[in-house]
Amino acid sequence: MSKLDLTRRGVIKSGAVAGAGLALPTIFTASSAAAYVNEPTGSTVTLGFNVPQTGPYADEGADELRAYMLAVEHLNGEGDGGMLNTFSSKALKGNGILGKKVEYVTGDTQTKPDAARASARSMIEKDGAVMITGGSSSGVAVAVQALCQEAGIIFMAGLTHSNDTTGKDKKANGFRHFFNSYMSGAALAPILADRYGKDRKAYHLTADYNWGYTTEEAVRTSTEAMGWETVAAVKTPLAQTDFSSYVAPVLNSGADVLVLNHYGGNMVNSLTSAVQFGLRAAQANGKNFEIVVPLYSRLMAKGAGKNVAGIFGSTNWHWSLENVAGARYAGTNAFVKSFGEKYGFPPSQAAHTTYCQTLLYADACERAGTFNPCGVGQALEGFEFDGLGNGPTLYRAEDHQCFKDVLVVKGNENPTSDFDLLEIVDVTPAAAVTYDASIFGGELGSCNPGA
Amino acid sequence: MLGLNKKDTSLLVAVALLVALAPIILNPFPEGSALAQFNAGYPDLMQRFVIFGIFAVGFNILFGLTGYLSFGHAAFLGAGSYAGVWMLKLLTINVIPAILISTVVAGLFSILIGYISLRRSGIYFSILTLAFAQMSFALAASVLTPITGGETGLQTALDDPRILDGANTTGNIPAPSLFGMEMSDSLQVNVAGWLWTFNVGYYLAGVILLIAFYVAIRIFRSPFGLMLRAIKSNQQRLTYTGLNTRPYMLACFVISGMYAGLAGGLMVAMDPLAGAERMQWTASGEVVLMTILGGIGTLIGPVLGAGLIKYFENIFSKINSNLLHEWFAFLPDGLEDFVVAIIYPFIGKGWHLTLGLMFMAVIIFLPGGLVELGQKIARKMSGKSDDKQTKSTE
Amino acid sequence: MDQIILQILNGLDKGSAYALIALGLTLIFGTLGVVNFAHGALFMLGAFCAVTLNRILSLSHTVIDETKKDFLGNPLKVEVPYVQGWFGESTGQAIIDWSVPLAILFTIPVMIAIGVIMERGLIKHFYKRPHADQILVTFGLAIVLQEIVKYYFGANQIPMNAPQAFFGSFDFGAMIGMEPGAIIYPYWRIIYFCFAAVLVGGVLAFLQFTTFGMVVRAGMADRETVGLLGINIDRRFTIMFGIAAAVAGLAGVMYTPINPPNYHMGMDFLVISFVVVVVGGMGSLPGAILAGLLLGILESFASMRQIIELLPGINQVVIYLAAIVILLTRPRGLMGRKGVMED
């Protein structure tokens, strides 16, 4: 017995047309019976979790994976339900998505766009994943998002902070919950001006790649608007490990603030160098010298150890948010509790954003009544929700970017544990970090269901 | 046939059969069975098998024949990729110009690098090629961002000119295609539980692999190839006979670079994105590993090595603890956890560890790579005592 | 002027790390003729010896502190290191504080043992194999070692601190009679440079002035003849491998306060240290040291703002550019001998 399926792009297993027209080239582009790629036909639905498992961001990837597994548990009605209980939309019932049990496949992005795309393609072509999510760098997010657009799959971005993901390189099938460089700059500037004064001279060290550029620009623009002056901006190679030759000249440059537009290992090493060179204790222009790190994560803070003490930065979310800033951020404690009880330590911001993305996707499917990327996209566009730990949030239709409050944090001077390295200084309201969707260029295009 | 002797013809035919039947051979386990995880017969991986096969065959023309170990071959793959994407952006979404131009651009780039690097030999040559490749990588990822797209890579976009194509009205970026057949189009055949995917892009790359393989055989068997082998065995003697080896070496280097560019062009034809990390030294190292794992200087070895490494990268990295628990669910609980705990460090996020162990094992026990393994098995099968022959190959 | 002195200091400091790793590589290559791609991994293992010692010293028991709360709202568990219980709080704290210098003592025997095991167990079988095989097998070993470290210590960086006494920086400019504040340099980086100088001097003196060293040098020049003289050169070469491993390990230990270590720090140094060795000339110890310092200083100068503005991207490529220029003008590197590794 043989059955022939004529399909386009991927692994659709329905609509048999036995042996018809093998010789005709037109069959390759003929539309098949399925409405969209990887339509789940059985009792389960497969999600693809594509995170860095090897390479420098492996720990971040591991935390994302923990959050995904927790989200799957909660969607399938196991565990204590986490943020499902606080989520403002009540479409999810704990019976999977649209009654189908949630299953998942995992892959390794290696934090390389090529490897990430290979892994995502195998999830789409081999495992029949209907949604891809994850990643912990903007290069990977932009690459995988473009792939998902082409293949007709929804992409729910993980940790990606560059403006490009929902700016220049935005795609109709891609959605981002995490905040971006622009928001970091806009959230930090008023608080920096308030703490350090409006008469400051900043020296930027910027990682020499796309994310570094957008972050430097965002911080520069918004601090200069507050009256700061930028003395210099020096680009540092991404592969740099010892930043001493970049940090050493800062003290005599006339600057009194150092902004480190670095992430991951770059940030840990440059901050360590800056502290070694005595910048924290130094005086310049009659003021205390200050260091600013626009994007903070708890894992980075852990790597830099006590060097982070007193240093300002911004973050998407922190586990102590609800305790510090009140019930507006409901959901935080529920999530921390279920994550902490399962794994023994509090979740990172990467874990939080990926958990939220999974829930948001599942909820959108429920509300749309389909897994069709076009329906899901419509349900997410302009969606306003609350109870996922960040307060009231909008998924903006124009660029598929979430708008929510941004946390300004600083390194804890006296941490009580490894998880207590950051303390929340202030929360900048969403309105203050919202920008016009057109300023970064790019086009969403139209949604692609793939079939 | 085609100017080949009988042995080479049968090798070419065997490779052609393998390429043609790969979608079937690589999917030995029925869909839905527990072992389906180990199936490799899906378009992306099959495309990678043949593309990296081409890359490794080309690398072997240089390394296997002349013994010059280039540690910067990924730079040509990267240069080819960038050229290919620019063709898809500017000219047409048809992949033919992209593939041709990427080969040409990589060829020109390798003339430049080869001309300088070939002034030295041995490890000095290796370091020169490494230095050029690392420079290309560093610049592509940073200051050349307007041309290369930097860290996020170069991609096709909606507003690209594509002057040979008509205006795009679909609202979606067109997918790379060959006269209307998209590279991602597939024909799926479902036979009694087995699912076979015949993909357009794969077969295009497969045909090109066969051509590349045929050309490689001809080079190996030509007087030119003989000259290259002579360079490997004793360059000095050749020089003393009054022969200038430089032009031969440069020609070989450029051919090898063009193979890399061809592979780069095919990569973007299958998946229109070129990233800077394709040029990094680890990518160059990967092709060295493929060639050595498969068997240096043999024709088929590099293709096998490429397949093995890509298989590991794509299949082993996707096994997670959840799957392991499913597989060993038949065991009693305590034993199940124990077995999973033993295996877990080697798969999923630990696939690098397995890869490292495998390199070591192959190099220690099989210096001739997979080809030697094949020969050993073949000899065992035919029942000959292998003492003498092992000695003669060493 | 002060900028130039500052960058020379920086370069010497960076270069001393390159020189230490390149020295070990050259020792192994010069004595055994083996291209060791696992050398970066030895550097990394050294760094993790320091981390391990720090972990051992900080082994703790938990005390429940009712006054504070952890992230779930339960009473906070405070970890109290055993050494604090045994020696009193301040002495215990001081021991942990000094864990990096203490790790030097701990690392030397561990790394020599690792080196000897590596040579006897694996490298020995590769003397007569092609360099490509040596590269591949040591590269595989490097991956294995690094994945094992990653399995136990994670992929994240691990902060290690220099002793409190050496924390911070001092005014180097004032010391050499310039105006105060012109050249501020961290203590630990100066210590690193001095440590490297002592270590390099020690290894060279050992080779130059001891009988053992003389035999090894003779063996490097002509292994067979030394063997024919009835000297067991293999055993000495094994010991040299151990010493080279220890040098790499010590370079790693002392590096931990400069940059928090992680499992792939060795790979980050591997390519650059090969460039250093080749630029210095394969098999030449003084060449490796000279090239290390030279490339370190070049890298530092290329990272100056004024120069980057003049030539964008120069800081990304300067080392490779220098390597290309040197190899084209001096065919065997700065101090290389004819006929080494040219086949």
Which of B199, B318, B351 to mutate to probe the A interface, most A CBs <10 Å? Answer: B318
Enumerate residues 6+ apart whose C-beta is below 8 A from A88. Answer: A385, A386, A387
Q: Residue C194 pLDDT more than 50?
A: yes
Q: Looking at the DSSP assignment, which residues form a beta bridge with residue B273?
A: B155
DSSP 8-class letter at A208: S
Identify the CA nearest to B164 among candidates B260, B269, B262, B87. Answer: B87
Question: B9-19: buried (b, 16+ CB within 10 Å) or exposed (e) per residue?
Answer: eebbeebbebb
**Residue at B130 is within a domain:** yes
For residue B324, what is the enclosing H or E element? helix B321-327
* Distance of residue B129 Cα from the nearest chain C Cα, in angstroms: 9
Q: pLDDT for C306-327, tens place per residue?
A: 888 888 888 889 999 999 999 8
Q: What is the mean pLDDT of chain A?
A: 87
The pLDDT of residue B28 is 86
Q: Per-residue pLDDT averaged across B92-105, rounded? A: 94
Burial of A299 (0-12, 13-18, 19+ CB in 10 A): buried
Q: Is A231 exposed, middle or buried (0-12, 13-18, 19+ CB in 10 A)?
A: middle
Residues 6+ apart with CB under 8 A from B20: B206
DSSP assignment of A279-306 equals TTT-EETTEE-EEEEEE--HHHHHHHGG
pLDDT tens for residues A76-131?
999 898 999 999 999 998 899 999 999 999 999 988 888 899 999 999 988 889 99
Helix, coil or strand: residue A49? strand
* Residues of chain A with C-beta less than 8 angstroms from the C-beta of B317: 53-54, 107-108, 119
Q: Write out pLDDT tens, residues A305-323.
A: 888 988 999 999 999 999 9
Domain presence at residue C225: yes
Share of chain B above pLDDT 70, in %: 97
Which of the residues A68, A72, A122 would you substitute to probe the B interface, choosing the one with the greatest number of B C-beta atoms within 10 Å? A122
At C168, the pLDDT band (50, 70, 90 cuts) reads confident
Contact C169 A277 (CB under 8 A): yes
Domain tally, chain B: 2
Range from A13-17, A337-341, C190-194 carrying the lowest mean pLDDT? A13-17
Tokens 């240290």 locate to: C273
Q: Where are the beta strands (DSSP E) in chain C?
A: 60-69, 75-81, 169-171, 184-186
CB C47 within 8 A of CB C252: yes
Residue-level pLDDT at A17 = 36
Residue A19 has pLDDT above 70, yes or no: no
- In terms of Cβ atoms closer than 10 Å to its own Cβ (0-12, 13-18, 19+), residue B188 is buried
Q: What values do phi and psi take at B183, rounded to 5?
A: -60, -25
Give yes or no: residues B141 and B212 share one domain: yes
Position B234 scores a pLDDT of 83
Domain region containing B379: 319-394
Contacts of C76 (CB under 8 A, 6+ apart): A416, A417, C64, C65, C68, C69, C70
Coil/strand/helix, residue C155: coil
Mean pLDDT over the full length of chain B: 87
pLDDT level of residue A23 (50, 70, 90 thresholds): very low
Structure tokens at A435: 């920008």
In a domain? residue B93: yes
pLDDT at B168 over 80: no
B168, B50: one domain: yes
**Higher per-residue pLDDT: B236 or A340:** A340
Show which subunits contact B, needing at least 3 CB pairs below 8 angstroms: A, C
Specify the CATH number for the domain of residue B41: 1.10.3470
Q: How many CB atoms lie within 10 A of CB B326?
A: 11
Domains (range + CATH), chain A: 1-34 (no CATH), 44-178+321-399 (3.40.50.2300), 182-315 (3.40.50.2300)
Distance (Å) from the alpha carbon of C70 to chain A's nearest alpha carbon = 8
Q: Compute the distance between CA of residue A4 and CA of residue B191 in angstroms, rounded to an integer.
A: 8
Mean pLDDT of all residues in C24-50:
90
How many independent structural domains does chain C possess? 1
Residues 6+ apart with CB under 8 A from B191: A1, A2, A3
Inside any domain, residue C334: no
Q: What is the pLDDT of residue B164?
A: 83
* Chain-chain contact of B281 with C271 (C-beta, under 8 angstroms): yes
In a domain, C339, yes or no: no
Region B380-389 average pLDDT: 61
Listed residue (B255, B154, B262) closest to B208, CA to CA: B262
State whether the Cα torsion B327-B330-B336-B339 is positive or negative.
Answer: negative
The minimum CA-CA distance between B368 and chain C, rounded to whole Å, is 10
Q: Between the CA of residue A228 and those of A202, A258, B354, C69, what are the distances in Å?
A: 7, 12, 53, 40
With contacts defined as CB-CB under 8 Å, which chain B residues touch C143?
A: 352-353, 355-356, 359
Sequence-ordered strand ranges (E) for chain B: 154-155, 177-178, 181-182, 185-191, 194-199, 273-274
Whether B7 shows a pLDDT value over 80: the answer reads yes
pLDDT band at C341 (very low <50, low <70, confident <90, very high): low
Same domain? B325 vs B270 = no
Of C137, C271, C278, the CB nearest to B123: C278
Residue C1 corresponds to which tokens in the numbers above?
């002027």
Count of C-beta atoms within a 10 Å radius of residue A381: 18
Pairing of strands B154-155, B181-182: unpaired
Work out the percent of chain A whose per-residue pLDDT is above 70. 92
A294: phi then psi, degrees, rounded to nearest 5: -55, -40
Let me know if residue C222 belongs to a domain. Answer: yes
Given a cut of 60, is residue A33 above it in pLDDT? no
Residue C294 in this model has a pLDDT that exceeds 90: yes
Q: Is the dihedral of CA C80, C83, C89, C94 positive or negative?
A: negative
pLDDT of residue A3: 47
Q: How far apart are CA C109 and CA C115, in angstroms?
A: 10
Domain containing C139 equals 2-56+98-329
Instruction: Determine, yes or no, domain membership for C165.
Output: yes
What is the DSSP code (8-state) at residue A76? T
Q: Provide the pLDDT for residue B393.
A: 36
Any residues with CB less than 8 A from the CB of A10 and at least 6 apart, and which?
Answer: A37, A38, A124, A125, A128, A151, A450, B184, B186
Count CB atoms within 10 A of the CB of residue C62: 10
- B324 and B255 in one domain? no
Residues of B engaging C, defined by a Cβ cutoff of 8 Å: 67, 69, 116, 119-124, 127-128, 130-132, 134-135, 138-139, 142-144, 281, 285, 288-289, 292, 296, 345, 350, 352-353, 355-360, 363-364, 367
| In the predicted structure, residue A1 carries a pLDDT above the cut 50 | no
Question: Is the residue at B313 inside a domain?
Answer: no
How far B123 CA sits from the closest chain A CA (Å)? 24
Per-residue confidence (pLDDT) for residue B384, from 0 to 100 = 58
Give a yes or no: residue B69 inside a domain. Answer: yes
Instruction: Enter the tokens of residue A308.
Output: 């982070």
Q: Is B321 on the interface with A (CB under 8 A)?
A: no
Helix, strand, or coil here: A233?
strand
Q: Are A81 and A355 in contact (CB under 8 A)?
A: no
* C83 lies in some domain: no
Q: Which residues pair with A166 in a beta bridge?
A: none
Residues B256 and B108 in one domain: yes
* Res A11 pLDDT > 50: no
Residue C14 lies in a domain: yes
Domain assignment of residue C78, yes or no: no
pLDDT, tens digit (0-9, with 9 covering 90-100), for C87-97: 877 888 888 88
Given a cut of 90, whether residue B167 has pLDDT beyond it is no
Q: How many CB atoms lie within 10 A of CB A246?
A: 26
Quote the pLDDT of residue C127.
Answer: 85
B32 belongs to a structural domain: yes
From CA C323, how far away is CA C291, in angstroms rounded?
10
Q: For residues B370 and B352, give the distance between their C-alpha atoms in angstroms, rounded to a whole number.
A: 20
Residue A2's pLDDT band, with cuts at 50, 70 and 90, is very low
Structural domain includes residue B132: yes
**A412 burial type by CB count under 10 A (0-12 exposed, 13-18 middle, 19+ buried):** middle
The pLDDT of residue A13 = 37
Strands C184-186, C169-171: pairing kind: antiparallel
Across the interface, whether the CB atoms of B155 and A143 are under 8 A apart is answered yes
Query: Within a 10 A sphere around the Cβ of A323, how many other Cβ atoms?
Result: 16
Nearest to C331 among B120, B281, B353 (CB): B120
Chains adjacent to A (≥3 CB pairs closer than 8 angstroms): B, C
